[in-house]
Structure 1
């Protein structure tokens, strides 16, 4: 069932009952990237999977990642209905969740930050600049292969042609302007000086073979947060919840407090 939050600006799917758990998707994917774990999580939680601003039916917002985080904080506060909330973000959704927790310290009681970080290396920044430039010049189709490689290793792509077809189609539905703005925001991001402001417990999770946000970024993130632990999911890339859902659920289950 879809619902709208933050004065109708954020569209989200909601299922299950229990304490609220919010799942925020990556830049190169969409909310369907959580489809393989939602059924299990909804046995213990009221799972809310929003479309981030500018994706799907959610309204875009100008002002960079901080504005996106503020919009999502409004949505989380709205959907919480007075209950404690856990937020899990993957990739871009993880950066949004981290920025949100910095800017709105009481918005969540726990965070799971999957395959993200606090700042990119210079090669990582340049990769975002290159994707933004190529998409502006030639359209998203020109960078689809690059985007898929950042999500999944070639061997996984070859073994799962139907899934890859679905993921390519989802990526090509992304609003090009929203995509470029997100790339530019991530290329300039450095949240390392503010990590100490995140006082809630955090589980940092990363796929062993993540090329988009490599494991050293997660090591740095976990080390900079006051209450964080790190788990590496073997054999996975940037969206482990889609690539190996049971391994992902096992990695986060104790932290989430699943029944």
Structure 2
């Protein structure tokens, strides 16, 4: 793992494997380790670059409280790392909101796009939980939001049966910077990419876990409707992070789409 300086920010990243380039962006409820269960297989096919957003790992702020700022930052990091325009991009949750925004505003710097349990905008009723998470993190610290975050990541039966995975997720999330975690969560409440989805011309795959308690599946259906010629894969019983909950299903969905 290494860091690069992009403007005022330090970006924490890791590169493994050989082949066509692939970037992985994580959900707000985790950081780059959310891809640990699939990174080995992906690196057999791709040169994989995974990054942490400001406030996670050694990535630092400051950053404005809007998703466009995160998209600009990651786009600048892509250029700083000299990744070519045939680089594929996968974004999960928050990372998917950022990835979609990159495709809208900087679409020529990437090739294929995979949007996992994400959307173009949160409906009003789904914004309040984001504000609650942000306010608790800022006022009480990251420990206060760990249980809430886990319930948003996984279905209840998975949480009960997979204590070791849950404990690891809590351990990583507890290390996040609470102010920057809150900044990202609140940034989601002002985003509305729905009117801009027709600007996405990259080949796009949308993956939706039908048991996602964080990003309602309807948001994925809206993406599919708004992005021309996009593909949609539904994963019954899967929550917000299919790469953690069922790595095989995630890989079976992603690899055929990304193959030449």
TM-score range, shorter-chain basis?
A: over 0.9
Aligned to 1:128: 130
Using structure 1 for the length normalisation, give the TM-score: 0.95
1:179-258 aligned at under 5 Å gives the runs 179-257=181-259
Aligned to 1:156: 158
Say whether 1:68 aligns with 2:65.
no
Gapped runs of 5+ residues in structure 1? Answer: none
**Distance of aligned partners of 1:246 and 1:80 in 2 relative to their CA distance in 1, 3 Å threshold:** farther
Give 1:250 shift.
Answer: 0.5
Partners in 1 of 2:85 and 2:121 — Cα distance? Answer: 31
Name the Cα RMSD after superposition.
Answer: 1.6
Match of 2:17 in 1: 16
CA contact (8 A) 1:12 1:51 kept: yes
- Residue 3 of structure 2 contacts residue 58 of structure 2 at CA under 8 Å; is this kept in 1? no
The aligned residue for residue 98 of structure 1 is 100
**Aligned equivalents of 1:203, 1:78: Cα separation in 2:** 26
CA distance in 2, matches of 1:173, 1:256: 33
**Structure 1 match to 2:121:** 119
Which ranges in structure 2 are unaligned for 5 or more consecutive residues? none
- Number of positions where the alignment pairs a residue of Structure 1 with one of Structure 2: 258
Q: Quick check: 1:4 aligned with 2:4?
A: yes
Distance change >3 Å, CA 5–CA 108, structure 1 → 2: farther
Task: Quote the offset at 1:83 in angstroms.
Answer: 5.1
Task: Judge which range, 227-236 or 14-23, deviates more.
Answer: 227-236
Q: Which runs of 4 or more aligned residues in structure 1 lie more than 4 Å from their structure 2 counterparts after TM superposition?
A: none
How far apart are 1:29 and its partner, in Å?
Answer: 0.6
Contact 1:20 1:84 in 2 (8 A): yes
